[in-house]
Structure 1
Amino acid sequence: MSKPPKKKSLPALVSDDSLPLLLPAPAAALGAGLWLCAVAAAYAQKGLFFAARDWGEVAATLAAAPATMGWPFLKTAVLAGLTWVGAAGWGCALRRRLIGTSSPCVECFTVNSALGLGSLSLALLAAAGAGFYTPSALRWLWGAGVLGGGVLCWLAWHQSSDEAPVRPVVRGGPLVWAAVALIALAAAGNFLAALSPEIFYDSLVYHLALPQLYLLRGGMTATPENIYSGLPQGVQMLYGLALALSGEDLAAFLHALFGLMTAVGLYAGLKRMAGPRAGALGAVLFYLCPLVVYASWACGVDLASAFYITAALGVLTGAVGEAPERAAGRSRMAGLLVGFAAGTKFNVLPTAGALVLGHAWLERRMGRGLRGPVLMSLAAGAAVAPWLLKNAVLYANPFYPFLHGTFGALRPADWPAFLAAAGSRDLKAAFTTSGGFWEFLTLPFRATMGTWPLGDWPGPVFAALAPAALAVRWDRGGRAGWTLTAGVAGLGFLSWWLASSLVR
């Protein structure tokens, strides 16, 4: 029988008063103008100018795209969308299993997607370990997964109307729509660029090369000659599925989707905590960084790392509710998400640890003790353990290529070159020499507005808009959530600053 129709109360419309001016309007306008002039002058010294003709070139490219790339774009977009929705359906089922609810919302969809994609990656790892990592097997797995996930998505939407709370609809006004337009324009360019042939070194050496090798061999085998094969491959397993279905274009589309959905998750989370204008600012700050734009064109892993961390932060700050009886399930869910993030690259471990510490702080404030953080740590360990087990079986070293002097007999051929290519920082030089300390101290400025080479760089949009974050009302969504967000961001930044000279 179909569900009887129920009368729903209409959500109230309220205005958004976030991003209030901390200064009188004339002073704020003067300060903003002077700051923008300073940013423009800094980039003019680098030979970069904000020219109107650039917008004309972008418009011409987008106008010509349908005739030249229409069918490949449509085909790849459909495959990527089906993969994402299917994964979200299974993630929704896992979420319901953990906390007993699957109420629909934009932020909840990002959490469901993260749970589903992380679980799919581990399922593909199991298939590779069992010798079933072949194109035909993965196509069958994809078809069944998309069909089942689609049904689960529909059921979750159909059955959850009673669980969805009625919340006021906050109108953000033209600022939010302007941000949406900018993000949509950037996304169109990013997905078009994702169809171009792959030239990213990391992709050609291991992000795509390793899953392609596993497909040829029908499973995962030891490849110690490729030093990167010991790193976690949470995203590479998904790329193998993409290669089996279509090719590198689908793999690049998936990575671009990770970036776009991170922006969506940031908008939804910040909107919940501080209103739609703050959400729009956060999404624009993230998605319009050249760093994120460039990453969207290639088969990397960094945008997936950001996506999982964003989903975990959303869970801890209340994206899936804050009912005390569901605290244990939320802890496990957040643990799985930070574990999936660490399964993309070891560099994420400090940020994952910061989230666990932040959860411990939140639980202590609520008088719940350490049960939640322990459950979160155990779930994170369970999500990371398969990658360590894979290394232990293939290389007799769970952390290969790291700790090669402690575990196993395998030694990387050129360990110093590996560290140099990764941009590892020489902390001794940074803190014992004046030149090294100055280089360390000025890195954030040089990478943003200074003499940084135009490879991976945050760019002018981030520099121009970042001061606007000072105008956000920090008390609207509760100070605890903002403190956790700021603490995780700060510790994540510090872990990069201390460990690497590469901007990622």
Structure 2
Amino acid sequence: MTNFAGLAVGLLIITAAAGYGDFLGRLLKTGLQAGATGLALRIAVGLVFLGWMMFWLLLAGSTSAIWFAGLLLPGILCATLQWRILVHDLGSDLQGIWPLLAIAMVLFAVDMLAASMPVFDADSNAYHFALPLQFLARGELFLIPRAVDGAAPLLFQAFYALPLQLGGEFAMLATAKLIVWVLVLLIYGVARPLCGRWMAGALALIFLTMPAVIYGLSAGQVETRIALLTFAAAALIFSMRENPTIGRAVLTGLLCGGVAAAKFTGLLYAAAAGLMLVAVLRRPSWIAAAAVAGLIAGGQWYGWLWLETGTPLFPMFAGPPYWGASHAAEFSQRILQSEAVLPGDFIGLITYPYHVFMATNPGFEADRTGLGPALFALLPISLVAAIRWCRQGTLRSAANWSEAARLGLIFSGIVLLFYILWWFFGASQRVRHLVPVIPLVMLILGVAAHRACQSRPACALLGLVLLLSAGIQAGGWAFFHRATAGYIISGSDRAAALQQDLLDYDAIQWMAENFTDDDLLVLMERRNNFYLGQPFYRISSDMERLVSNGQNDTDPRRFLSDLTALGATHILFHLIDNPAFSVRDDGNGSVLVLYEDVDSLGVEGSGIGRFHQLVMKLLRDGCGKIVHLSRTQRKMSRTLAQSSAVDEMVIIVRLVEDGCAYPAAFDDDPVRRGHTDWTGQPRLKLPGW
């Protein structure tokens, strides 16, 4: 499928979302406004509805293009019938800022060009895009009992299956990017009445060029998409001070439910927004209606997890066969503790913004996926407005609140509540996990800074701050899109780009030519999963236990039994050259020759973990045969086009019973194959593949 057709699919999905959002708004008599704000709010609501429907379609096994097209048609029809209302006032909202619109058009065009590139982002290859591909290949939703990125609420991963089925990879990437552009429109729409067109446009573009947003926008990171739902919910709560209706309360609950359905930390935002909704409305029946809407919109994922794993918050409270005490200890030590750079106490809560701004620890990922300088540059100017409001008594009585002060108080309440909950209950301190509330922070500081400028010198200072911030972030944007420029200049040769930058490209090509429909690959590598053309299961020493390869698992017999129970036939793993072993050709193929005991090889920096040791033991004991050997270059960041790389061997091992030292391990039935995308049939062919 051509890129134009893929983009058309993405636009049709956004159109359907707008139609469904408008229908729900009319049904609930919300009285949503027209213009940029109203259009973006309707799309946000419609996206939650589409994601909700995708859960049920995937669960029912209704994954054909006919079902998905049928899901879109009513929404497109609603949008077509109401298109005058949907776009009413949109043109007038955008008048007078043509230079900013021109910049936005350039950024949008580059984004769409970037969508034509193969996906090299590790997280997107591992699960954001790999999961919808596996669901479609299997023809249904199924449980992958892996913590964090498998057994979790997957609203957007399920939603991505919609454009992937209808338009292929480009349609999926384009749709993911369009969602963020809807957020940009919403930021502009909410800010415009409070601080003017130019300031609103500047804030929207500055948000778009934040490093964390650029990074998330490049592929399937859900935080930047969740931000649309969080900001839309906050905007509706803000609007209910002047125009309270039960319909808006229900839509707020629906959006908060969507946030919870997208990620476990969405529960924290739902709690924060819910508390602010209580403070704003003080109407128990309306609040109850919002809670029910949230439960309907997000509860299905938690109910499904509960039925499948025994707990709605996997791996918390989980037990056999998917979890155990030893795995919980390793998960806590190697994942949760490693993500907690600062102590989770009150001092850490207060000092975290400083550490993020100064990038004092690489664990924050504040250098390449940080927030940029704009927020910190706007902070002192916005404090002037806050001090002025306090001196004038503006904040003493709700009757005296200006719209700007009201927005600042409501948004600040949501942000602070979420930040406190996230700090004490969140699993990771990476700053990009705060992206869902960054648009709220941007509006708080931007609107306050605008209100603080009541003289020409002050306005000039604010303009200089915005210009410098935009310039710095534009440089980061240009650096990030070096890879996009190189791809376009080289003629958009997709095969060449994959060959150059896809980890394990040669191995993947070999598997495509040699694997049968009965084969199942097991691997630990996560950077190539989206491009695997055969059924696979990605294991982890920390986040799953179907295959025993944790720190205390040294028995290759049990390892092989677990692989057999999974239905595995092949293993892919990487090795770094090491004097303790060699891989050489003995005339009958490649063999592993050991010069030291396998258990002594797992030292820091060797690239050998427990998984590698266990696979090497299978080779040593005659239970595996090397059927493919190639080499690859592991770059620090392919997304950022960093050139430093580590040379590694890529080895594919076929499990063999003949000659195995423990053949009884092959007697186990593949009882856990249901947690893979194996069907015994050729994989579904998607558009453009």
TM-score in terms of structure 1 length: 0.72
Tell me by how many angstroms 1:155 deviates. Answer: 2.0
Give the equivalent residue in structure 1 for 2:289: 375
In the alignment, the residues of structure 2 paired with residue 482 and residue 338 of structure 1 have an alpha-carbon distance, to the nearest angstrom, of 20
CA gap of 1:425–1:109, structure 2 versus 1, over 3 A, is same
CA gap of 1:170–1:308, structure 2 versus 1, over 3 A, is closer
- 8 Å Cα contact 1:208-1:236 kept in structure 2: yes
Q: Deviations over 1:223-274 (max 9, x none)?
A: 2256622111100111112221233332222222222211111111122344
In the alignment, the residues of structure 2 paired with residue 129 and residue 288 of structure 1 have an alpha-carbon distance, to the nearest angstrom, of 37
Tell me by how many angstroms 1:153 deviates. Answer: 1.2
Three-state SS of the structure 1 residue aligned to 2:78 is helix
Tell me by how many angstroms 1:102 deviates. Answer: 5.8
1:361 aligns with 2:287: no
Tell me by how many angstroms 1:446 deviates. Answer: 3.4
Give the equivalent residue in structure 1 for 2:50: 120
Give the AA of the match of 1:130.
A
Three-state SS of the structure 1 residue aligned to 2:116 is coil
Larger gyration radius, structure 1 or structure 2: 2
- 8 Å Cα contact 1:273-1:478 kept in structure 2: yes
1:310 aligns with 2:231: yes
1:85 aligns with 2:6: no
CA gap of 1:148–1:426, structure 2 versus 1, over 3 A, is closer
1:460 aligns with 2:373: yes
- 8 Å Cα contact 1:291-1:458 kept in structure 2: yes
Backbone CA RMSD of aligned residues: 3.4
What is the 5 A alignment of 1:9-408? Answer: 72-99=2-29, 101=31, 104-133=34-63, 137=64, 139-158=65-84, 176-225=97-146, 228-318=149-239, 322-324=242-244, 327-364=245-282, 369-404=283-318
Percent of residue pairs bearing the same amino acid type: 25
Give the AA of the match of 1:373.
I
Q: Deviations over 1:146-200 (max 9, x none)?
A: 4332221132245789xx8x99x78996xx5554444444333333223322122
Give the equivalent residue in structure 2 for 1:21: none
- 8 Å Cα contact 1:172-1:275 kept in structure 2: no
In the alignment, the residues of structure 2 paired with residue 447 and residue 240 of structure 1 have an alpha-carbon distance, to the nearest angstrom, of 34
In the alignment, the residues of structure 2 paired with residue 422 and residue 72 of structure 1 have an alpha-carbon distance, to the nearest angstrom, of 43
Give the AA of the match of 2:419.
F
Give the AA of the match of 1:82.
L
- 8 Å Cα contact 2:211-2:368 kept in structure 1: no
- 8 Å Cα contact 2:340-2:429 kept in structure 1: no
In the alignment, the residues of structure 1 paired with residue 306 and residue 336 of structure 2 have an alpha-carbon distance, to the nearest angstrom, of 23
- 8 Å Cα contact 2:6-2:168 kept in structure 1: no
- 8 Å Cα contact 1:446-1:452 kept in structure 2: yes
Give the equivalent residue in structure 1 for 2:431: 503
Tell me by how many angstroms 1:431 deviates. Answer: 4.0
- Structure 2 residue aligned with 1:444, among 345, 349, 353? 353
Query: Which runs of 5 or more structure 1 residues have no equivalent in the other structure?
Result: 1-70
Aligned positions, number: 411
- 8 Å Cα contact 1:315-1:334 kept in structure 2: yes
Give the AA of the match of 1:411.
W
In the alignment, the residues of structure 1 paired with residue 417 and residue 162 of structure 2 have an alpha-carbon distance, to the nearest angstrom, of 34
Give the AA of the match of 1:372.
W
CA gap of 1:84–1:232, structure 2 versus 1, over 3 A, is same
- 8 Å Cα contact 1:103-1:157 kept in structure 2: no
Structure with greater proportional helix content: 1
- 8 Å Cα contact 1:360-1:373 kept in structure 2: yes
Give the AA of the match of 1:108.
G
Structure with greater proportional strand content: 2
Give the AA of the match of 1:446.
H
In the alignment, the residues of structure 2 paired with residue 171 and residue 265 of structure 1 have an alpha-carbon distance, to the nearest angstrom, of 12
- 8 Å Cα contact 1:104-1:157 kept in structure 2: no
Tell me by how many angstroms 1:429 deviates. Answer: 4.0
CA gap of 1:181–1:145, structure 2 versus 1, over 3 A, is same
Query: Which runs of 5 or more structure 2 residues have no equivalent in the other structure?
Result: 390-400, 433-689
Give the AA of the match of 2:226.
S
In the alignment, the residues of structure 2 paired with residue 467 and residue 190 of structure 1 have an alpha-carbon distance, to the nearest angstrom, of 33
- 8 Å Cα contact 1:77-1:253 kept in structure 2: yes
CA gap of 1:315–1:479, structure 2 versus 1, over 3 A, is same
In the alignment, the residues of structure 2 paired with residue 181 and residue 467 of structure 1 have an alpha-carbon distance, to the nearest angstrom, of 30
In the alignment, the residues of structure 2 paired with residue 143 and residue 346 of structure 1 have an alpha-carbon distance, to the nearest angstrom, of 30
CA gap of 1:314–1:429, structure 2 versus 1, over 3 A, is closer
Give the AA of the match of 1:123.
M
In the alignment, the residues of structure 1 paired with residue 15 and residue 227 of structure 2 have an alpha-carbon distance, to the nearest angstrom, of 19
